[in-house]
Amino acid sequence: MAALSGITNGTLEGGDGGNRVTVVLGAQWGDEGKGKVVDLLAMDADLVCRCQGGNNAGHTVVVDSVEYDFHLLPSGVLNRKAISFIGNGVVIHLPGLFEEAEKNCKKGPGLEGWESRTVISDRAHIVFDFHQAADGIQEQQRQQQAGKNLGTTKKGIGPVYSSKASRTGLRICDLLADFEEFTKKFKVLAEQYLNMYPTLSIDVEGELQQLKVYAERIKPLVKDGVYFMYQALHGPAKKILVEGANAALLDIDFGTYPFVTSSNCTVGGVCTGLGIPPRYIGKVYGVVKAYTTRVGVGAFPTEQSNAIGELLQSHGREFGVTTGRKRRCGWLDLVLVRYAHMINGFSAIALTKLDILDGLEEIKVGVEYCLNGKRIPYFPANQEVLNKVDVDYTTLPGWKCSTVEARSSSDLPENAKKYIRFIEEYLQVPVKWVGVGKSRESIIKLF
């Protein structure tokens, strides 16, 4: 198999000595297998950064038959030679961070010494227990008032971003500066939430005591995030990898609103989430599942509520990493992926879970939306409109044989190659990697 590196190295054009960053982003509704792609590229990285989101996102990485689940820690933390950086755009539930590390340490040796190679931005906002409780109450209210909820993970992500936007949130730097002052602000914020949600129960003193303990544990990991990234960009040549959480269609501005996450998980979130200028962004890789899945509610034009959907769900083991919820499944929607490419400008695609299509006689691909009988060249912003679109499909022949043992392009069946070429020609973006299994060895590099 060809060398696995896909990370930009060296200096920017213009000779200013700066390093570019390589970005990996989800191109659908999440669950595309970004963790596997990041893990693969992180083997060759010096620095792996997480730029947004919280522990609502879940990435699964399999190494030496051990399955690790990451929610806050960058997937690259398994590379003991790389530094993992949690940027200011990430919101952090401190108990969740340490629980995640402890659980993964019990699974295998991959996370040993994780604290010594992890850096956290002092500007990252803190998720409190009452944010998580409020998240659950909000979902109940939506269900009662509108008959449907957003399908959040109830990890407090929406409420903490609301606190951030209303300028009442508290950051890591507040926790570590003056605990008495932090205590005052925490109590004011807790009181606000009690006023908003009368059924909410907050153990103010208990949570403060817990936070004081976590402050001591996290203190050695915290640095000024902007200065840290500036040094990384302008110091010696480094391979810097950025891992996006969630995906393009879950972006707060560009996703299928309101059924989205609360952060910018498109390429702009890399700059705001890490504090780096746009000119330092190098390659942007979009991760695309060979079919489409979605967790929770919201429009899904190519969904297959039939035997095909059930087959994809069962063969693909489509259950949410964070919630365990069954994922809805459907055919690959290239209109949706093209929309994600319009926003992110993908340099290349990583096509994952191709092996799940192995047994199909024929495979359909969504290539065009029609509304009221007329073709529309755009992806509708309004959910009610998106629910009304009809999808035109192109039907391609299946390959009816296993790709699981394929380790190079030449090992792939001819019809699988045609499927990949069809995607490339439609998007006008090359497919750089193809995934045919769960492990690192199951990702084929095409060029």
**Any idea which residues carry the catalytic annotation?**
31, 59, 164
321 is in an annotated binding site: yes
327 is in an annotated binding site: yes
Total Cβ atoms within 10 A of residue 49: 31
Strands 240-243 and 47-50 come out as: parallel
Q: What angle, 0 to 180 degrees and rounded to 10, lies between the N-to-C axes of helices 204-218 and 179-196?
A: 140
58 is in an annotated binding site: yes
57 is in an annotated binding site: yes
Question: In whole angstroms, what is the distance from residue 122 CA to residue 291 CA?
Answer: 39
355 is in an annotated binding site: yes
> DSSP string of 18-47?
PPPEEEEEESSSS-SSHHHHHHHHHTT-SE
Strands 47-50 and 332-333 come out as: unpaired
273 is in an annotated binding site: no
Element (H, E) at 370: strand 362-371
33 is in an annotated binding site: yes
373 is in an annotated binding site: no
59 is in an annotated binding site: yes
Strands 240-243 and 21-26 come out as: parallel
107 is in an annotated binding site: no
89 is in an annotated binding site: no
Residue of 86, 68, 70, 99 whose CA lies nearest to 126: 86
Within 60-178, residue ranges assigned H as helices are: 94-107, 129-146, 157-165, 172-177
35 is in an annotated binding site: yes
Residues of each annotated binding site for IMP: 31-34, 56-59, 153, 167, 246, 261, 325
Q: Annotated binding residues, as ranges?
A: 30-36, 56-60, 153, 167, 246, 261, 321-327, 353-355, 435-437
Output the known binding site for Mg(2+).
Answer: 31, 58
